[in-house]
């Protein structure tokens, strides 16, 4: 029978091959799912892997969705590398969007272009504030950060709901739960005409470089990760675990808040109850599939963005529910975790001993 045997050393090959194998398994399961539903699997694959790439405009849309995923995942990677389990990035994203939206609503016809900077900074601050609740409860009360950060996602949704159904509702909005559309000066500048790609993409790529330098080239980044890998060693070396906790949550909260600001002052242009689009949860998968490595996450963010766009196309052109995106995202993470076994173990065929 097949037996798992511990490798003397982790396999570097499988560290990078595992996400590819996981993607292959997900695609295979996807083909099976399409056939089960009586849809043409080739056409299905085309929606996910060809349509998002086939024109400059489509590529732009791919980047529009990849940007928030990448920004959030960069923060989460710092978190997970320090063994801090923030799974409430969705809530930090929403509060970031709310804070950014609140500032954007202050703008009027006379406001200068500097306003967009204030909007973005407000988003970062909002996300940091929301994550700091988790950090504080963990630090002071030892409350489990997984459950607290997740519960705060629901609370954040309620805060958003309260504002757009209540005090921030557009009086001229025919009673729809939404704020008035933000002034043009709050709009995140676009990179070119004819595409919705914005400065946010540049910020995300700067973030990739910044996180890379922090993690692999600074003492603070090293101390941050030792706490996650070997808490005892970190204590011995005098690295503060409280400091690592706060850094992890403030960085990831700030990143998620930034993504919220870019989204609400970018493609959305107003606050509605539909601001939470699941990016905060999808970014967890992006972080894992990208091996918690800044460069790897660029690829996985693009892949996850393809899943989103493919899902929308599958809905409009093939009559499949959009939630197929969530199914594939879940399958991808499942397969990845299973394939990662091959990093630490090898499969051996062993005849059953009697």
Partner 1 sequence: MESYALLVAATLNAGTVLAIAALGLLINERAGVVNLGAEGMMLCAAIAGFATVVHTGSDGLGFLAGMGAGALLAAVFGFLVIYLSTNQYATGLALSLFGVGFSAFVGIGYVQEKLPQRPSFEIPFLADIPLLGSAFFKQHPLVYGVMAFVLGLMWFFYKTRTGLVLRSVGESPESAHALGYSVRRIRFYAVVAGGALCGLSGAYISIAYTPLWVEGMVAGKGWIALALTTFATWRPARILLGAYLFGGVTMLQFHLQGLGVQVPSQWLTALPYIATIVVLALISRNPAWIRINMPASLGKPFHPGS
Other Cβ atoms less than 10 A from the Cβ of 50: the count is: 14
Of 181, 316, 341, 350, which one interacts with partner 1 (CB under 8 A)? Answer: 341
Q: What character string, x for contact with partner 1 (CB under 8 A) and - otherwise, covers 279-298? A: --x--xx--x----------
Of 137, 205, 277, 318, which one interacts with partner 1 (CB under 8 A)? Answer: 137
Residues 6+ apart with CB under 8 A from 350: 1, 2, 3
241/227 Cα distance (integer angstroms): 6
Is residue 141 involved in binding partner 1 (CB under 8 A)?
yes
Using the CB atoms, write b or e for 241-252: b if 16+ within 10 Å: beebbbbbbbbb
Is residue 20 involved in binding partner 1 (CB under 8 A)?
no
Is there a contact between 293 and 77 (Cβ–Cβ < 8 Å)? yes
Q: What character string, x for contact with partner 1 (CB under 8 A) and - otherwise, covers 63-102? A: ----------------------x-x---------------
User: Quick check: helix, strand or coil at residue 219?
Assistant: helix
Residue 292 backbone zone (phi > 0: left; psi -120 to 50: alpha; other: beta): left
* The token pair that represents 266 in the structure block: 């970018």
Is residue 47 involved in binding partner 1 (CB under 8 A)?
no
147/75 Cα distance (integer angstroms): 19
Residue nearer to partner 1 on the CB measure, 186 or 325:
325
DSSP percent split of the chain into helix, strand, coil, nearest 5 = 70, 5, 25
Is residue 135 involved in binding partner 1 (CB under 8 A)?
no
19/339 Cα distance (integer angstroms): 8
- Please give the size of the binding site for partner 1, defined by CB under 8 A: 46
Is residue 31 involved in binding partner 1 (CB under 8 A)?
no
Is residue 129 involved in binding partner 1 (CB under 8 A)?
no
User: Quick check: helix, strand or coil at residue 238?
Assistant: coil
The piece of 12-20, 46-54, 145-153, 291-299 that touches partner 1 (CB under 8 A) is: 145-153
Residue nearer to partner 1 on the CB measure, 198 or 329:
329
Is residue 17 involved in binding partner 1 (CB under 8 A)?
no
Q: Pick from 88, 68, 60: which is nearest to 268 by CA?
A: 68
Of 59, 159, 185, 277, which one interacts with partner 1 (CB under 8 A)? Answer: 159
Q: Kindly state the helix (H) or strand (E) to which residue 5 belongs, with its residue range.
A: strand 2-6
Of 29, 147, 199, 277, which one interacts with partner 1 (CB under 8 A)? Answer: 147
283/267 Cα distance (integer angstroms): 19
Is residue 154 involved in binding partner 1 (CB under 8 A)?
yes
Smallest gap from residue 16 Cβ to partner 1 (A)? 18
Residue nearer to partner 1 on the CB measure, 18 or 224:
18
The piece of 15-23, 209-217, 292-300, 320-328 that touches partner 1 (CB under 8 A) is: 320-328
Q: Which residues bind partner 1 (CB under 8 A)?
A: 4, 6, 85, 87, 137, 140-144, 146-148, 150-152, 154-155, 158-159, 161-162, 165-166, 281, 284-285, 288, 321, 323-331, 333-334, 337-338, 340-341, 344-345
């Amino acid at each position: 029978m097949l037996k798992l045997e511990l490798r003397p050393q982790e396999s570097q090959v499988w560290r990078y091959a595992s996400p590819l194998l996981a993607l292959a398994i997900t695609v295979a399961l996807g083909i099976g799912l399409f056939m089960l539903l009586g849809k043409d699997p080739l056409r299905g694959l085309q929606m996910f892997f060809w349509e998002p790439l086939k024109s400059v405009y489509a590529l732009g849309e791919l980047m529009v969705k990849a940007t928030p995923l990448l920004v959030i995942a960069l923060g989460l990677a710092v978190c997970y590398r320090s063994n801090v389990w923030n799974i409430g990035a969705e809530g930090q994203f929403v509060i970031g969007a709310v804070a950014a939206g609140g500032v954007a609503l202050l703008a009027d016809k006379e406001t200068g272009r500097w306003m967009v900077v204030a909007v973005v900074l407000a988003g970062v601050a909002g996300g940091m504030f929301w994550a700091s609740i988790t950090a504080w409860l963990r630090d002071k009360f030892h409350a489990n950060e997984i459950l607290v950060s997740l519960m705060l996602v629901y609370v954040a949704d309620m805060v958003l709901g309260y504002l757009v159904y209540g005090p921030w509702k557009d009086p001229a909005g025919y009673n729809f739960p939404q704020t008035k559309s933000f002034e043009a000066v709050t709009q995140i500048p676009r990179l070119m005409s004819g595409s919705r790609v914005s400065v946010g993409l540049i910020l995300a790529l700067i973030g990739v470089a910044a996180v890379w330098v922090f993690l692999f080239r600074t003492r603070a980044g090293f101390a941050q990760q030792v706490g996650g890998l070997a808490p005892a060693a970190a204590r011995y070396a005098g690295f503060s675990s409280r400091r690592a906790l706060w850094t992890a949550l403030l960085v990831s909260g700030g990143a998620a808040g930034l993504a919220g600001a870019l989204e609400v002052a970018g493609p959305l242009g107003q606050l509605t109850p539909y601001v939470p689009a699941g990016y905060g949860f999808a970014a967890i998968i992006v972080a894992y599939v990208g091996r918690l490595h800044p460069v790897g996450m660029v690829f996985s963010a693009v892949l996850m963005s393809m899943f989103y766009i493919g899902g929308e196309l599958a809905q409009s052109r093939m009559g499949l529910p959009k939630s197929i995106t969530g199914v594939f995202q879940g399958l991808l993470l499942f397969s990845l975790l299973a394939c990662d076994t091959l990093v630490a173990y090898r499969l051996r065929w062993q005849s059953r001993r009697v």
